[in-house]
Amino acid sequence: MTEPGRDATGGSPESTEESAPHGETDPDDVAETDEATYTKEGELERTIGLTGGLSIGIGTMIGAGIFVFPGIAAGEAGPAAAASFAIGAVVALLVALPASELGTAMPRSGGGYYFISRGLGTLAGSVVGLSLWLGLVFASAFYLVGFGYYAIDSLAEVGIVVDAAFVVPIALLFGAGLTVLNVTGTENAAKLQNGVVALLLSLLVVFLGAGIADAVGLTGQSSPPETFAPFGTLPIVTTAALVFTSYLGFAQVATVAGEMKAPGRNLPLAMVGSVVIVGVLYVVTVFVATSAFGSNRLATLGETAMVEVGRHYLGAAGAIAILFGGLLATVSSANASILSTSRAVYAVSRDGVIPEWASRINLRFGTPHVALGLAGGPILLLTATGQVTVLAEVASFLHLVMYGLLCVALLALRRNEPDWYDPSFRVPGYPAVPVLGAIGSFGMIAFMQLASQLIGLGIMLATAGWYGYYARDVELKGVL
């Protein structure tokens, strides 16, 4: 394996023109440049600021966690589902900190794939890169199916009854539309993301404020306490593994690091900030939801349970607000995931792990249109299955593998300290934080349902097979 920072002959990336692919500069020089204007042939333009980074992270995470999972999670763990979301937030935070350090050292599109390939080599990088692509595909399909459920319920609320069989066609239609939107420009997708997230957070602040006031008896009768963990402690952890899909958004910020302005500052703030903000919102939401109906009834309401919670606290206006918020949230999650999926494809193509034509950039819009096609196509195929829980858990499985290896990659790079490794952000509490992040990530996989574990393992074996067939001779020449 070629050492990161060295070409195949052992020279440094700066020693010859050929060893600096695509005309790129040393990462130290990039870190000291005005990243807002750093554009070179073969690179994506840096158009995403801190607000855009937070919007990608928050917008991706806030959809499933608040609008799709509360009813499902309450059925699995009772009111203790709040603890499940808290466990997920802690694990996500333990990974977000190492990922932030790696991202400031290597601010390039591709996120986890890029960091792991440079820290642990081409085999681990290739398996993670291809698995990340497919993991994001599963997550995107999950969000689109959630959108379909909310669209059907929204129409029913205004008196238009549509058969549930139309959930998948609606999801497919919007998935195709979001893919086209991303092709027309990252800035267009980012503007949609910023607007949706701002409106969504405003709705949630009003709704959760009313719910908390009612639940504690300020505006209504306080709810009688329910047994916190009616099914025991094990379901709390298994539910945490299920709902961890809700926390995939912070890592998606890293997949667009190559398009972020001033990544040394904005990347850590966006990743850590999005986890903290959304984690608090999740826990509060489950408290408000279980206070409204109790976990048993909430479980019977399924994917759109929050609509009835909104109706309970604010009447018809509350139900409409939640339906509108659910539509916004699932669109936001799907949009950010499609964007990140395409960047994962772009990164592995740039390194030659898959054919390099997949990294072609559209000359008119400046976007990786082929990669977007390779993202959107599989997403639509999986969306057609309509299997919410399996889609969510397989996405979680593949991301948890990547998160664990991210922490291991940080430990390896800190130990070796190659010349090019000079992050502008360093993890506090090293080495405890990355060690705990790796243990937490790998440990949660053990609590998933067998079907999700087998599908996830099968995908990883298939990607390893692809590496052996196609990419085993790939040499990483420095930090691209």
Q: b/e string for 95-132 if b means 16 or more Cβ within 10 A?
A: bbbbbbbbbbbbbbbbbbbbbbbbbbbbbbbbbbbbbb
Q: What is the pLDDT of residues 297-325, one digit of tens each?
A: 888 887 778 888 888 888 888 888 888 88
Provide the pLDDT confidence category of residue 14 given band limits of 50, 70 and 90. very low
- pLDDT average, residue stretch 416-439: 92
Closest CA to 376 of 142, 175, 168: 175
DSSP conformational letter for 248: T
The one-letter amino acid at 6? R
- On whether residue 8 sits in a domain, the answer given is no
* Residues 323/332, Cβ–Cβ less than 8 Å: no
Provide the pLDDT confidence category of residue 154 given band limits of 50, 70 and 90. confident
Closest CA to 51 of 239, 261, 204: 261
Cβ atoms within 10 A of the Cβ of 449, count?
Answer: 13
- On whether residue 131 sits in a domain, the answer given is yes
Reading the block at residue 344, the tokens are: 């994962």
Q: What percent of the chain clears pLDDT 70, i.e. is strictly above it?
A: 84
* Residues 289/318, Cβ–Cβ less than 8 Å: no
- Reported pTM: 0.74
- pLDDT average, residue stretch 215-224: 67
The enclosing domain of 71 has a CATH number of 1.20.1740.10
More confident residue, 458 or 480: 458
**Backbone angles phi and psi of 51, in degrees to 5:** -60, -45
Reading the block at residue 152, the tokens are: 């059907």
The Cα–Cα gap between 438 and 404 comes to 4
What length is written for the chain? 480
Q: How many domains does the chain have?
A: 1
The Cα–Cα gap between 475 and 5 comes to 11
Reading the block at residue 316, the tokens are: 């018809």
- On whether residue 34 sits in a domain, the answer given is no
- On whether residue 362 sits in a domain, the answer given is yes
pLDDT score of 30: 35
When mean pLDDT is compared across 25-39, 46-60, 81-95, 367-381, the lowest value belongs to 25-39
**Backbone angles phi and psi of 446, in degrees to 5:** -65, -20
Reading the block at residue 278, the tokens are: 């959304």
70: preceding bond cis by omega (within 30 degrees): no
Name the range with the highest mean pLDDT among 105-114, 388-397, 401-410, 471-480. Answer: 401-410
Helix runs in 78-233, H state only: 81-105, 112-120, 122-157, 167-183, 186-215
The Cα–Cα gap between 309 and 319 comes to 8
In whole angstroms, how far apart are CA 287 and each of 114, 147, 273?
38, 23, 22
Reading the block at residue 379, the tokens are: 């997403």
In whole angstroms, how far apart are CA 477 and each of 350, 409, 466?
12, 18, 21
The Cα–Cα gap between 79 and 380 comes to 34
Q: What is the pLDDT of residues 291-300, one digit of tens each?
A: 888 888 888 8
The Cα–Cα gap between 94 and 390 comes to 25
- On whether residue 382 sits in a domain, the answer given is yes
Query: H or E segment at 411?
Result: helix 388-416
User: Which residue, chain included where needed, has tokens 């690091």?
Assistant: 257
- On whether residue 39 sits in a domain, the answer given is no
* Residues 121/139, Cβ–Cβ less than 8 Å: no
Judged by DSSP in three states, 260 sits in: strand
- pLDDT average, residue stretch 395-404: 89
The Cα–Cα gap between 476 and 372 comes to 24
**Backbone angles phi and psi of 260, in degrees to 5:** -95, 140
The Cα–Cα gap between 276 and 300 comes to 30
The Cα–Cα gap between 257 and 353 comes to 20
Reading the block at residue 48, the tokens are: 């995403």
DSSP conformational letter for 363: T
- On whether residue 1 sits in a domain, the answer given is no
The Cα–Cα gap between 211 and 480 comes to 49
The Cα–Cα gap between 161 and 60 comes to 29
DSSP of 138-172: HHHHHHHHHHHHHHHHHHHHTT----GGGHHHHHH
Cβ atoms within 10 A of the Cβ of 233, count?
Answer: 10
- pLDDT average, residue stretch 247-267: 78
* Residues 167/385, Cβ–Cβ less than 8 Å: no
Domain of 329?
A: 64-471
Q: What is the pLDDT of residues 89-147, one digit of tens each?
A: 999 999 999 999 998 888 776 677 888 988 898 889 888 888 878 887 888 888 888 88
Provide the pLDDT confidence category of residue 187 given band limits of 50, 70 and 90. low
- On whether residue 55 sits in a domain, the answer given is no
Closest CA to 149 of 383, 436, 378: 383
